[in-house]
Chains A and B, each alone.
Chain A
């Protein structure tokens, strides 16, 4: 029964990991940019949810929309104003640029919100449900369902909507898409915005579970790395499977080896995967 409980905890965590990683994966896949800002985007989303709850009494589940909108605007502006200019440059340029922007954003958050860990104490939590010997923490389960729902929505957006098809087209062949009348630069900006939006939404869900501080951003960035490489770059189902797998692995590792080693194990796994199977568990696939 203990194992079942650990498995469920892992899946709950993994759903959130999937939501963190999916925006990162989208940006990497479509723009070929590793967005070092992603971790700070998640944290900013958490702060939006935190302040919305503390000052306006908005439940974090509703501030997904707010955080998503704020982050979309930020991401869209950053891409249109800065990153678009170097999007075709060598890997090092975009990496160093987003790293610089991350230093800026993270420092701004440190100054504005301080490094203190904050957390949301819900006035009326959903509590927990006992199923036999397994306990379900309902708030966390609901967050995970929201996270998976958002990931699913993104999947639908890419598959069904006009802008989604444009994003997929640009990913497949930029020149051909441009010839078909797709405005590539705008699609890039929207893609980056959507990536940031997913980070913001994930952050607002995470605000219920993890303490919030700018110091945590690199941890979330690391998670996005691992999930993307595990699931294989460029597919939403890959990110979903990678996220769930990482969550389960981490929670079993915490049980057998010790909770403080969760991320180390994830990173070790990442290096091994990169060495032996860099295309990820799912193999290389696009956003078809």
Chain B
């Protein structure tokens, strides 16, 4: 990214951060959701976008983070510490899981990562003494006003989203990002030229989990009550993929843009068509695959390229004259 782009992104980030000025609770809720969605989509982007591994493990990390945060808060740990611990537990889990399943390719990896979430649901449901089982878990109520709470959670979730964006930027510029790009294009060749593919993939998988765990814990503190089917919902794995594809997978900004667009569409659909909202989500996915295969950013880039190509003859003429 050039300097101009960095500055304009920073300005947009700052403007959204000033959202509480408007004092509208509904907007604050949307803003908090945006922070969460952006965190999930940007995190998935590291493993799914750069490395090209179709991970469906987001829900597993999210739920794990939610339960870690909820249990620690229930045991009296201060909320911010519980969030940090949730990040750490998700990252550790991802690193171990990655060592176990990242040798799988394509469909096999997708299924393995999907099933992990299903197993965790069952564990959370069956381990009643710890997690409260299917009854769910209540979190301690915060002693602060409603307004202050909504501000607190908006800024926390939003900070997480900005951190995820920074993480994407850093990864894209680093050796890690370069290596992941190579792995996506041809893993065997990457290994041949000396990229430690296993290490890179495990690092990418861990990166894709750490902030998702934090988002899960914040979500738990935000809604005060969690239950297994809610925090391990398979849609939590699928939505970030759709957002990333919508914006442009494998780009730094794409997933964040996709998260915003997705959130707006979801709000409109939720409010107006409650019975058929998952059908509309399905139609959206199908349309996305056929009409926007490279995402919104991909479309913009292609437009710009096409414009340059269209101008080539005139440029050549000018040079001759």
Contact = CB atoms under 8 A, between A and B. Distances in A.
A is bound by B: yes
Interface of A: 28, 32, 34, 82, 85-86, 89-93, 95-97, 99-108, 111, 218, 222, 225, 229, 260-261, 263-264, 267-268, 270-271, 274-275, 278
Contacts, number: 112
A28 B112 contact: no
B283 A275 contact: no
Contacts of A267: 115, 118-119, 122
B100 interface: yes
B278 interface: yes
B101 A274 contact: yes
A105 B101 CA distance: 31
B276 A107 contact: yes
A97 B279 contact: no
A263 B54 CA distance: 24
Contact of A103 (B112, B122, B278): B278
Given A92-B54, A271-B112, A107 B282 contact: yes
Given A34-B111, A96-B241, A267-B122, A275 B101 contact: yes
Contact of B107 (A34, A82, A101): A34
B275 A225 contact: no
B282 A104 contact: yes
Given A91-B106, A225-B111, A264 B119 contact: yes
Contacts of A260: 126
B286 A97 contact: yes
B104 interface: yes
7 contacts: A92-B245, A100-B286, A101-B282, A101-B286, A106-B278, A229-B108, A264-B119
Contact of B285 (A96, A225, A264, A271): A96
Which of under 10, 10 to 19, 20 to 34, or 35 or more describes the interface residues of B? 35 or more
A264 B228 CA distance: 14
A274 B112 contact: yes
Contacts of A271: 100-101, 112, 115-116, 119
Contacts of A268: 119
Interface of B: 48, 52, 54, 100-101, 104, 106-108, 110-112, 115-116, 118-119, 122-123, 126, 234, 238, 241-242, 245, 275-279, 281-286, 288-290, 293
A263 B104 CA distance: 22
Contact of B108 (A95, A102, A278): A278
Contact of B276 (A34, A111, A270): A111
A43 to B, nearest CB: 15
Contacts of A274: 101, 104, 108, 111-112
B264 to A, nearest CB: 19
Contact of B245 (A96, A107, A263, A264): A96
A103 to B, nearest CB: 3
Contacts of A275: 100-101, 112
A229 to B, nearest CB: 7
Nearest to A265: B122
Contact of A95 (B54, B101, B118): B54
B283 A278 contact: no
A100 B289 contact: yes
A159 B126 CA distance: 45
B118 A28 contact: no
A100 B282 contact: yes
A235 to B, nearest CB: 16
Contacts of B285: 96-97, 99-100, 103
